[in-house]
Amino acid sequence: RTAEEDRGHCREMIRAVVFDFDGVLANSEPLHFRGYRDVLAPRGVALTERSYYENYLGYDDIGAFRAIAGDFGVTFTDADIADLVAKKAVRLEELEKSASVLFPGAREAIERMAAAGPVAIASGALKGEILRVLDHEGLRGHFPIVVSAEDTPASKPDPAPYLLAAELLAARHPGLQAAECVSIEDSKWGLLSARAAGMKTVGISHTYPAAELADAADVVIDHLDAFTPELLRSL
């Protein structure tokens, strides 16, 4: 191989991993649905599980409540939305107390990738929710970079969360480019966000079937056990 080919090969290598959180590491989407449902019911909004997964899963809390209000023909002021977000956060914490919310293989995948290079999180969840789970599971030390709903003005599928994650990774690891990062996501919204930021994309069929992820993912896997450095080298 020529020196130019070697340089091109180095540029294409995956150097960092950016995990989505809900639906990838934390099996918390069912809990999020219950949280939304429970706080909306007193306001006369009957959110169904099917509607949540089809229409609102890709939003952060503020975006979801705004979209739900529009779709259900109700009016929520900014104060109403702030109140709903706060009440949902309390309800989610209550629901999480019953057991670990990590997907099978999540702990091992985090440890495997953290041993191979930098890792980060880019999520539409609230930072307190993410850190609470990481602390409970003893995994917070692996993630010096956590981009959450409060950190960017726009949420997925906008690329802002992944652009910020790439910027923070580059600050810690000079020269690191977005194209040298891979995102792992469970939804098309997240995959589109990461791709628009210039990252490679891995879809995982925890939440949606592989066929719904394929167009926006470089590869789709069905279990975190398959998320390995060897897979990343194949990208």
Q: What is the pLDDT of residues 220-231, one digit of tens each?
A: 999 999 999 999
Q: What type of residue sits at position 99?
A: A
Q: What is the pLDDT of residue 97?
A: 81
Q: What is the pLDDT of residue 12?
A: 59
Q: What is the pLDDT of residue 98?
A: 73
List, run by run, the mean pLDDT of 10-residue segments along the chain (235 residues): 39 87 91 95 97 90 96 97 96 83 96 97 94 94 97 95 98 97 96 98 96 97 97 92
Q: What is the pLDDT of residue 29?
A: 83
d(CA 120, CA 107): 14
Q: What is the pLDDT of residue 2?
A: 43
d(CA 155, CA 183): 15
How many C-beta atoms lie closer than 10 Å to residue 6's C-beta? 10
Q: What is the pLDDT of residue 28?
A: 83
Q: What is the pLDDT of residue 6?
A: 39
